[in-house]
Amino acid sequence: MNLSEREKKQILESIRDIPDFPKPGIIFKDITTLLNNPKAFKILMDHLEEHYKDAGIDYIAGAESRGFIFGAPLADRLGAGFVPIRKPGKLPFTTIAEKYSLEYGFDEVEIHIDAFSGKPNPKVLFIDDLIATGGTANASINLIKKAGAASVDACFIINLAFLKGIERLSADTTVYSVLDI
């Protein structure tokens, strides 16, 4: 199921732009207005369910924290497990970590070491709200592999195409974005 131009427009118009956040020159894509718009959110979730329903996904891994918002309900709709990818020190069991570069330093994400132990050769969909440069997504895909799973796709609601983050991921997994900006 492809989204119609009208549906894409409805989703896009439900996302608020916040200029100069978190710093001057940045236009922040605020998805809270999408989340509180039940019609737009339903269009989005119905589309994602239809897009992935035959992909044989065992788990959805969502990046902290907005990936949780889309990943958990999609996992429920697909009958898959949900796995959180979090900042350091937030998960209670033994974790594995992946560091990645930022324009101003480094950051890190973690996953439980046994996150995908429920199924042999698990297929994982990684999801997040937005891809910019791809640092968090790339680190998350690496974590999924380190935890013994295969990343079958990476999904983003918004792709900031001018930052070329999807190009960075394309060598490691297929990538799908709902909206390219």
Examine residue 137 and state whether it is found in any structural domain, yes or no: yes
Q: What is the pLDDT of residue 36?
A: 97
Task: Find the DSSP H helices in the chain.
Answer: 5-13, 32-35, 38-52, 66-78, 135-146, 165-169
**The domain containing residue 123 runs over which residues?**
55-180
Q: What is the pLDDT of residue 172?
A: 84
Instruction: Give the DSSP H/E element, type plus range, for residue 173.
Output: none
Strands 95-102 and 123-131: unpaired
Examine residue 16 and state whether it is found in any structural domain, yes or no: no
Active site residue 50: no
CATH of the domain at 127: 3.40.50.2020
Catalytic pick among 103, 108, 110, 167: 103
- 54 exposed, middle or buried (CB, 10 Å; 0-12, 13-18, 19+)? exposed
Examine residue 103 and state whether it is found in any structural domain, yes or no: yes
Q: What is the pLDDT of residue 30?
A: 97
Q: What is the pLDDT of residue 111?
A: 98
pTM: 0.95
- The first and second tokens of residue 56, run together, are 């044989």
Examine residue 166 and state whether it is found in any structural domain, yes or no: yes
Radius of gyration of the chain, Cα coordinates, nearest whole angstrom: 16
Number of domains making up the chain: 1
DSSP code at position 23: S
- Short-list 157, 123, 126, CA closest to 141: 126
How far from 5 is each of 10, 79, 161, 176, CA to CA, in Å?
Answer: 9, 29, 18, 17
Amino acid sitting at position 72: A
Catalytic pick among 49, 64, 66, 77: 66
Examine residue 112 and state whether it is found in any structural domain, yes or no: yes
Q: What is the pLDDT of residue 103?
A: 66
Ranges of the chain with pLDDT below 70? 103
Q: What is the pLDDT of residue 171?
A: 84
Q: In this predicted model, what pLDDT tens digit does every residue of 107-160 receive, in sequence order?
A: 999 999 999 998 899 999 999 999 999 999 999 999 999 999 999 999 999 999
Active site residue 16: no
Examine residue 152 and state whether it is found in any structural domain, yes or no: yes
Q: What is the pLDDT of residue 94?
A: 97
Examine residue 156 and state whether it is found in any structural domain, yes or no: yes
